[in-house]
Chain A
Amino acid sequence: MSTTTMPPAPEVTRPPADGDRPWAAVLALARFEARELLLNIPVLVLLVLYLGYTAYGLVAAEQDGMTDYPVLQNADRASQTAPQLVALAVLLCVNHAVLRSRRHGTDRHFGVLPLQPWRRTLAHALSAVPLAGLVAVVVGAEFAWAASKPGAVGHGSLFELVVAPLSVLLAGVVGVLLARLIGSAFAAPLFVVGLYVLLAVFSIATSGSDPHWLRWLSPVVPESGGDPLPSGLLGRPAAWHALYLVGLTVALLCGAVTASGRRTRTVAVVTAAALAATAAGIAGQSPGDSRDLAAARETASASPETVESCTVRGSVTYCAFPEWSGRTADWAAVVERVQHLAGDRRDRLTVRQRVEARYGLTSDAALTALSGPGQVTVGTAWGGNRIPEFAVGVASVLVAGDEQAASAVCDARAVTITWLALAAQADPMSAFVHVRLDDRTEGSGLVLAPTDPLGMSAGETAMVRALLAKPREVVSAAVRAHWAELTSPKTSLARVAQLLDVKAPEKEDSRDACEA
Chain B
Amino acid sequence: MTVTVSASGLTLRYGGTRALDDVSLSLRAGVTGLLGPNGAGKTTLLRVLATAVPADGGSFTVLGHAPGSAAGRQNLRRTLGYLPQNPGFHPDFSAFEFVDYVAILKEQTDRTARHREVRRVLDAVDLSDVRGRRLKRLSGGMRQRVALAAALVGEPGFLVLDEPTVGLDPEQRVRFRELIAQAGEGRTVLLSTHQTEDVAMLCHRVIVLACGRVRFEGTPAELTARADGRVWSSAARDPGARAGWRTGAGTFRNVGDPPKGAELLDPTLEDGYLLTLDDPDGAAPAQQGEAAA
A interface with B by C-beta (< 8 Å) = 1-13, 15-16, 18-19, 21-22, 24-25, 27-29, 32, 100-101, 104-116, 120
Chain A minimum-CB-distance residue to B49:
A112
Which A residues are CB-close (under 8 A) to B3? 7-11
B189-230 interface mask toward A, CB cutoff 8 Å, 1 = contact, 0 = none? 000000000000000000000000111010000000000000
Q: Give me 15 A-to-B residue pairs in the complex whose CB atoms sit less than 8 angstroms apart, sorted by A's number.
A: A2-B24, A2-B282, A3-B217, A3-B291, A7-B25, A13-B63, A15-B74, A19-B74, A25-B104, A25-B109, A104-B89, A106-B90, A108-B88, A115-B105, A115-B106
A442–B6 alpha-carbon span in the complex (Å): 97
B101 within 8 A of A: yes
A105 touches B86 (CB 8 A): yes
Q: Per a CB cutoff under 8 Å, which of A2, A4, A18, A108 touches B215?
A: A2
Cβ of B78 within 8 Å of any chain A Cβ, yes or no, is yes
Q: A18, B110: Cβ atoms under 8 Å?
A: yes
Q: How far is the CA of A146 from the CA of B132 in the complex (A)?
A: 44
Q: B288, A115: Cβ atoms under 8 Å?
A: no
Complex Cα spacing A105 to B215, Å: 32
- Chain A binding site: helix, strand, loop or mixed by DSSP? loop
Q: What residues on A are CB-neighbors of B78 within 8 Å?
A: 15-16, 19, 114
Given the known inter-chain contacts A10-B3, A24-B109, A28-B111, please indicate yes or no for A104 contacting B90, CB distance below 8 A: yes
Number of interface residues of B (CB under 8 A): 62
Chain B hits for A104, CB < 8 A: 88-91
Binding site for A on B (CB under 8 A): 2-9, 21-26, 50-52, 61-65, 74-75, 77-80, 82-84, 86-91, 100-102, 104-111, 114, 154-155, 157, 213-215, 217, 282, 284, 287-288, 290-291
Which residues on A sit within 8 Å (CB–CB) of B106? 16, 18, 113-115
Tell me the complex Cα distance, A8–B50, Å: 21
Write out the residue numbers on chain B whose beta carbons fall within 8 Å of the beta carbon of A110.
102, 105
When C-beta atoms are compared, the residue in chain A nearest to B29 turns out to be A11
Which residue from B23, B52, B64 sits with its C-beta under 8 Å from A10?
Answer: B64
Contacts of A24 in B (CB 8 A): 107, 109
Interface pair B214/A109, CB less than 8 Å apart? no
Residues of A within 8 A of B21 (CB): 2
CB proximity of A97 to chain B, nearest CB, Å? 10
Alpha-carbon distance between A13 and B186 when the two chains are bound, in angstroms = 13
User: Which single member of B22, B91, B290 contacts A2 (CB below 8 Å)?
Assistant: B22
CB-CB under 8 A for A112 and B52, given A3-B287, A10-B63, A101-B88? yes
Interface centre among A24, A110, A120 (most CB of B within 10 A): A110
Residues of A within 8 A of B50 (CB): 112
Please name the residue on chain B nearest to A101 by beta carbon: B88
Chain A residues with Cβ below 8 Å from B110 are: 18
Chain B residues closer than 8 Å to A101, beta-carbon distance: 88
Residues of A within 8 A of B287 (CB): 2-5
Chain B residue at minimum C-beta to C-beta distance from A20: B107
User: Does A12 contact B63, Cβ atoms closer than 8 Å?
Assistant: yes
Given contacts A19-B78, A108-B84, A109-B88, contact A3 B25 (CB under 8 A): yes
Determine if A11 and B215 form an interchain contact, defined as CB atoms under 8 angstroms apart: no
Do the beta carbons of B63 and A11 come within 8 Å of each other?
yes
Kindly state the separation between the CA atoms of A32 and B108 in the bound complex, as whole angstroms: 13
Whether the pair B154, A16 counts as a contact (CB closer than 8 A) is: yes
Given contacts A13-B79, A21-B107, A109-B87, contact A7 B8 (CB under 8 A): yes
Tell me whether A108 and B64 are in contact in the complex, defined as CB-CB below 8 angstroms, given that A32-B104, A114-B106 are known contacts.
no
Query: A9 — which chain B residues lie within 8 A by C-beta?
Result: 3
Between B7, B88, B110, the greatest number of chain A beta carbons within 10 A of the residue's beta carbon is seen for B88
A8: chain B residues at CB < 8 Å are 2-3, 6, 26
Give bound CA distance, A11 to B215, whole Å.
Answer: 26
Bound Cα distance from A481 to B104, whole angstroms: 87
Chain A contacts for B214, CB-based, 8 A: 2-3
* Chain B nearest Cβ from A92, distance in angstroms: 16
On whether the beta carbons of A2 and B107 are closer than 8 Å, the reply is no
Q: Which A-chain residue is minimally distant from B6 (CB atoms)? A: A7
Interface residue from B4, B282, B290, B291 paired with A11 (Cβ < 8 Å)? B4
Bound form: Cα–Cα A278–B29 in Å: 56
Q: Which residues of A contact B104 (CB under 8 A)?
A: 25, 28-29, 32, 115
Interface contact A113-B105, CB-CB below 8 Å: yes
